[in-house]
């Protein structure tokens, strides 16, 4: 029997299309731009199940797939469509297994915004426990040409790679380059499975994928909201079309399995889905709408204040004396948050990176107590902040040995790359952190906390079900700790940091006010990383550092300061040693940033680059255009790298005659103009940066 349409829902400019095969009971979910023509498909094509699990004991994946994927297994064959209903802004689709198991697919949206959150729930209604070795969070089918008329390069996979201090590296591969051409008789599974294992979810890849159909110009995209091990699969087998699926890293990929008792249910992480026919940046902007809808930040965050962090000033040696000297220098500037970074807890003879865990302020560094320092910062007009890495303890701390039984273990041995990890499901560990972290912040009047995280647990930790399940529960414990911080102090500003950007994913964005973009604080690729992250996170949450030093000439200083304006401006470095000219340029940059705040809060970004692939050997230039939602204003973030031409020119967005309102740049780094709808920079200086505010002339 041929595949049939089960239902169709139009949400804004997107259609949800559910297809059904009454013979095998499969249900497929596809997204499409509203009004787009039906894909020409082969009638007997196998539908891609919108939800899959692997139940232990059912046969494994065939078609040479074992070890590459756990999809298309014996459990999937048993689940058949039962019913579908719409409940307001949610479509609920239920699949049933005659043995008493259900898979419930929940797809929701907000208003008419066409970005969809998806979660899949497994329910055990049998009388026996069952072990899951895999459960998906989402699956999209119907991607690609769908017929034998396919040509090379018609389908591309977009991803973002990530390494320490090199987050957000956009890569695009054709299906052929990924070796996903169908086999001659369509027997073998072709699959690109990628992801991350451990508690640093942005390590190797960001939990994001997009598929581009080059002939139709349609992009399909997903972000996973999960801070642990995850996987995404781009695959095909019998079909001419492709599928995109993923979720929690499974038993093969992430050492995960879980026992589900009779009457219990289990859901994997949420996924955000969207499609767009207006380009890659438009797709990314659509996925960001779900992040924006989940923002929960204190009132102090509404005007996106400037941050000062003394890390690149004292390098782990903060004291009341040097902190207050810096604070006096910053009086009267736009800086509102003053953050005391690592080292405030050091005891004589130790270093910050191996003594975290006891969280007792140093009397040597803070003779009147750290509360007195926080009070003196408030007297100077600042909201005081402080650094913690509370999920771990270093070998130089008492907690490392005295609290050992409350740390994570694997095979009965503490997980120990170079520090121990608190077991965040252990009541005594939680009570310890409640006293030493949560109440410490409240009792000492800190209004800002930087939560750092500088190692990964690895593939898992001890749990009766599996190491991967132990790791999943540890991530849930991290979420509870972040929520607890705001429960005790609703006005607390939380910065999410993990050696820079190793936790740049939606679930952590929703629990924090902002995130550290990277640890590339003093490197020339700062604006490249920052601009790329506009596609993955809200600029208002992306904290970018401007580390200033007396040895910087004005051109370099302008490059550094303009880079920080791509997101949340965080100042650091030797502000006390700057010359009057350098300090004047720094203050002008912070004032200019304040006028960019409305665009950073609400707008859309388009990125254009004319540079090579090597971030550590920058050539050419980069332009990011951030346009207001009403389209009447925009900011141009232009960074010029090595070997620039005599003139750089970019076409501006259509819609009227643009004019320059104001610009920030170091003197002598080029002459900006707008001529005939084109932005031009004549005589650009190498390794220089500028930000230009433009507006429509008739507004």
What's the pLDDT tens digit per position in 351-396?
888 999 999 999 999 999 999 999 999 999 999 999 999 999 999 9
Assigned token pair, 637: 């973030």
pLDDT in tens, 299-326: 999 999 999 999 999 999 999 999 999 9
148 has a pLDDT exceeding 60: no
Rounded CA gap, 100 and 172, in Å?
A: 43
Asked if residue 120 lies in contact with residue 137, where contact means CB atoms within 8 angstroms, the answer is yes
Sketch the domain layout of the chain as residue ranges: 4-293, 305-516, 605-696
- The correct answer on CATH 2.70.98.60 for the domain covering 4-293 is yes
- Under DSSP, the state recorded for 518 is -
pLDDT tier at 146 (50, 70, 90 boundaries)?
low
Q: What is the pLDDT of residue 184?
A: 78
Which of 177-181, 303-307, 574-578 shows the lowest per-residue confidence on average (mean pLDDT)? 177-181
Q: What is the pLDDT of residue 698?
A: 75
pLDDT in tens, 165-176: 999 999 999 999
The rounded mean pLDDT for the chain is 95
pLDDT tier at 147 (50, 70, 90 boundaries)?
low
Query: Which residues neighbour 146 within 8 Å (Cβ) at sequence distance 6 or greater?
Result: 39, 40, 41, 42, 45, 239, 240, 241
Scored b (16 or more CB within 10 A) or e, 180-211 reads bebeeeeebbbbbbbbbbbbbbbbebbbbbbb
Rounded CA gap, 672 and 662, in Å?
A: 10
Residue with tokens 């008329």: 149
Give CA torsion, residues 378, 381, 383, 385, to 10 deg: -70
Architecture of domain 305-516: Alpha-Beta Barrel (3.20)
Asked if residue 222 lies in contact with residue 208, where contact means CB atoms within 8 angstroms, the answer is yes
Query: Which residues neighbour 276 within 8 Å (Cβ) at sequence distance 6 or greater?
Result: 33, 218, 219, 221, 282, 283, 286
- HEC states along 420-469? EEECCCCHHHHHHHHHHHHHHHHHCCCCEEEECCCCCCCCCCCCCCCHHH
Assigned token pair, 210: 């997009």
Length of the chain: 699
41 has a pLDDT exceeding 70: no
- What is the DSSP annotation of 603-648? -EEEEEEES-S-TTS-BSEEEEEEE-TTSSEEEEEEEE-BS--SEE
Question: 469: number of CA atoms within 13 Å, CB side?
Answer: 16
Scored b (16 or more CB within 10 A) or e, 581-616 reads ebbebbbebbebbeebbebbbebbbbbebebeeebe
Q: What is the pLDDT of residue 65?
A: 81
Helices (H), 31-130: 74-78
190 has a pLDDT exceeding 90: no
Asked if residue 115 lies in contact with residue 274, where contact means CB atoms within 8 angstroms, the answer is yes
pLDDT in tens, 395-418: 999 999 999 999 999 999 999 999
Asked if residue 22 lies in contact with residue 4, where contact means CB atoms within 8 angstroms, the answer is yes
Asked whether the domain spanning 605-696 has the same topology as the one spanning 305-516, the reply is no
pLDDT in tens, 530-565: 999 999 999 999 999 999 999 999 999 999 999 999
Asked if residue 281 lies in contact with residue 604, where contact means CB atoms within 8 angstroms, the answer is yes
pLDDT in tens, 463-505: 999 999 999 999 999 999 999 999 999 999 999 999 999 999 9
**Percent of the chain having pLDDT more than 70?**
98
Assigned token pair, 625: 């255009």
Nearest to 521, CA basis, from 542, 545, 486: 545
43 has a pLDDT exceeding 70: no
> Strands 204-205 and 420-421: what pairing?
unpaired
**Percent of the chain having pLDDT more than 90?**
89
42 has a pLDDT exceeding 90: no
Rounded CA gap, 659 and 550, in Å?
A: 35
Assigned token pair, 421: 């990890």
pLDDT in tens, 255-305: 999 999 999 999 999 999 999 999 999 999 999 999 999 999 999 999 999
Architecture of domain 605-696: Sandwich (2.60)
Residue with tokens 């920058």: 618
pLDDT in tens, 99-110: 999 999 999 999
Rounded CA gap, 688 and 686, in Å?
A: 6
Asked if residue 429 lies in contact with residue 423, where contact means CB atoms within 8 angstroms, the answer is yes
Question: 170: number of CA atoms within 13 Å, CB side?
Answer: 19
Q: What is the pLDDT of residue 681?
A: 97
């Amino acid at each position: 029997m041929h595949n049939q349409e089960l239902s169709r829902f139009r949400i804004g400019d997107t259609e949800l299309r559910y297809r059904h095969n009454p013979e095998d009971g499969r249900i497929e979910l596809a997204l499409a731009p509203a009004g787009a023509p039906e894909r020409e498909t082969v009638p007997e094509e196998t539908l891609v199940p919108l939800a899959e699990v692997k139940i232990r004991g059912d046969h494994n994946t065939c078609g040479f797939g074992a070890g590459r994927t756990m999809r298309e297994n014996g459990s999937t064959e048993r689940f058949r469509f039962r019913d579908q209903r719409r409940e307001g802004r949610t479509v609920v689709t239920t699949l049933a297994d005659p043995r008493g198991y259900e898979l419930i697919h929940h797809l929701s949206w907000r208003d008419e915004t066409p970005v969809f959150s998806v979660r899949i729930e497994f329910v055990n209604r049998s009388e026996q426990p069952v072990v899951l070795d895999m459960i998906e969070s989402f699956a999209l089918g119907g991607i690609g040409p769908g017929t034998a008329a396919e040509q090379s390069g018609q389908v591309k996979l977009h991803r973002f790679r990530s390494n320490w201090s090199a987050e957000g590296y956009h890569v695009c591969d054709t299906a052929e380059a990924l070796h996903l051409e169908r086999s001659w008789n369509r027997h073998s599974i072709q699959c690109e499975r990628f992801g991350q294992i451990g508690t640093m979810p942005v390590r190797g890849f960001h939990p994001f994928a997009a598929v581009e159909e080059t002939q139709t110009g349609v992009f399909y995209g997903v972000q996973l909201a999960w801070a642990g091990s995850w996987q995404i699969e781009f695959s095909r087998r019998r079909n001419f079309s492709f599928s995109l699926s993923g979720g929690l890293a499974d038993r093969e990929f992430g050492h995960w399995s879980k026992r589900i008792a009779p009457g219990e249910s289990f859901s994997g992480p949420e996924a955000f889905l969207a499609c767009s026919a207006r380009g890659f940046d438009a797709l990314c902007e659509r996925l960001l709408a779900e992040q924006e809808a989940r923002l929960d930040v204190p009132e102090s965050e509404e005007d996106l204040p400037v941050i000062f962090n003394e890390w690149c000033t004292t390098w782990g040696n903060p004291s009341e004396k040097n902190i207050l000297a810096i604070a006096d220098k910053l009086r009267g500037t736009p800086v509102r948050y003053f953050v005391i970074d690592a080292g405030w807890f050091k005891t004589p003879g130790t270093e910050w990176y191996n003594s975290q865990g006891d969280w007792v302020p140093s009397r040597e560094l803070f003779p009147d107590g750290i509360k007195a320092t926080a009070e003196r910062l408030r007297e100077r007009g600042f909201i005081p902040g402080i650094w913690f890495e509370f999920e771990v303890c270093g070998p130089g701390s008492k907690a490392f040995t005295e609290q050992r039984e409350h740390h994570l273990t694997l095979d009965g041995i503490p997980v120990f790359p170079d520090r121990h990890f608190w077991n965040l499901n252990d009541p005594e560990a939680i009570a310890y952190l409640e006293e030493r972290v949560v109440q410490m912040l409240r009792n000492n009047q800190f209004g800002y906390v930087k939560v750092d995280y500088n190692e990964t647990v690895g593939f898992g930790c001890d749990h009766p079900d599996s190491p991967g399940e132990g790791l999943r529960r540890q991530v849930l414990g991290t979420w509870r700790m972040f929520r607890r911080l705001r429960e005790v102090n609703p006005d607390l500003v939380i910065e999410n940091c993990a050696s820079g950007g190793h936790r740049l994913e939606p679930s952590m964005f929703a629990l924090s006010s902002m995130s550290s973009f990277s640890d590339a604080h003093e490197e020339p690729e700062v604006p490249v990383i920052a601009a790329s992250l506009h596609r993955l996170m809200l600029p208002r949450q992306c904290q970018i550092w401007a580390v200033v030093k007396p040895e910087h000439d004005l051109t370099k200083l302008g490059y550094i300061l303009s880079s920080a304006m791509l997101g949340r401006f965080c100042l650091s470095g030797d502000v006390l040693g700057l010359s009057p000219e350098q300090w004047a340029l720094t203050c002008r940059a912070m004032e200019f940033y304040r006028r960019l705040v409305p665009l950073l809060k609400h707008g859309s970004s388009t990125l254009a680059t004319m540079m090579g692939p090597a971030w550590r050997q920058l050539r050419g230039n980069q332009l990011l255009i951030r346009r207001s939602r009403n389209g009447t204003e925009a900011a141009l973030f232009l960074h010029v790298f090595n070997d620039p031409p005599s003139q750089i020119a970019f076409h501006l967005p259509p819609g009227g005659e643009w004019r320059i309102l104001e610009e920030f740049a170091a003197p002598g780094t080029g002459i900006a103009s707008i001529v005939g709808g084109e932005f031009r920079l004549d005589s650009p200086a190498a390794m220089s940066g500028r930000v230009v505010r433009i507006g429509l002339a008739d507004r």
